[in-house]
Amino acid sequence: MAELWNHEDFVGQLRAVGMSRYHDKHPFHRHMNSGQLSPDQVRGWVANRFHYQSSIPLKDAAILSNCPDRSVRRIWLHRITDHDGTVEGGGGIENWLRLADACGMDRQDLAEGRLLLPGVRFAVDAYVQFCRTKPWPIAVASSLTELFAPDLMRERIAAFEKYYAWVDASGLEYFKSRLTQAKADSDQGLALTLAHCDTPQLQREAVQALNFKCDLLWAMLDAMLLAYGGGVDAPAVPAGA
């Protein structure tokens, strides 16, 4: 019979997932962070990642809709307004659109999904569906890629400032805001996971959920690598080819 992990071992299992499977290790990310992407490849990443960014409030709303615990809902609720904002022109989604502006892109292309790759759409929509259909503690556990996000954001900011000076610095605000937001969010998510994944089965499902989240982030980059190539000199594959 499986045994319940203590909190230290449980956290170790979760962190091991990120150490081996987080998308900072994907070739497309490595090329981006070492300055090897062309402007069009960066724009392709911005456009496709927008579908993920704009879906975050949907997955968080799904988690809330499945959670009967009012105290947990209070903790989780701010994630929706963090991304949607509380007034026009605020929030993380708006900051991502400002990144698109800084890259010389048309916001309407992003809003209408004109540049969205099928593989990215499928991966992101699968994440929202996962959070709609899984028990809320397991859906919360899938968010724990945030444990690894601050280090990635620091590396990304440095890369954009060093290699992609053509991107106006005003477009980097989303990344900068996530340095602190992701740490606070991951602390909350981890505390909830430790408290509510309190059986061996739930603990293992939580680890599997984090694996799933890493897989879908990786799949998004696979689609982009196929469509846009992996570096400045790589031939681009037309979307839908």
How far, in Å, CA of 33 to CA of 49, rounded? 16
Burial of residue 44 (number of CB atoms within 10 Å: 0-12, 13-18, 19+):
buried
Nearest to 99 by CA among 150, 48, 171, 163: 171
pLDDT at 123: 98
Q: 143-174 burial, b for 16+ CB within 10 Å, e for fewer? A: bbbbbbbbebbebbbebbeebbeebeeebbbb
H/E stretch holding 1 reads none
Return the domain boundaries, the chain.
Answer: 38-228
Q: Would you write out the chain's pLDDT as a tens digit for each of its 241 residues?
A: 679 999 999 999 999 999 999 999 999 999 999 999 999 999 999 999 999 999 999 999 999 999 999 999 999 999 999 999 999 888 999 999 999 999 999 999 999 999 999 999 999 999 999 999 999 999 999 999 999 998 999 999 999 999 999 999 999 999 999 989 889 999 999 999 999 999 999 999 999 999 999 999 999 999 999 999 976 444 333 333 3
87-92-93-98 Cα dihedral, nearest 10 degrees: 100
Enumerate helices (H) and strands (E) in the chain, giving the number of each.
Answer: 11, 0
pLDDT at 2: 79
- According to DSSP, residue 2 is labeled P
**Could you tell me if 187 and 213 are in contact, meaning their C-beta atoms sit under 8 angstroms apart?**
no
pLDDT at 233: 45
Which fold would CATH assign to domain 38-228? Heme Oxygenase; Chain A (1.20.910)
Contacts with 142 (C-beta within 8 Å, 6 or more apart), sequence order: 127, 130, 131, 134, 209, 210, 212, 213
pLDDT at 89: 84
Structure tokens at 15: 């962190």
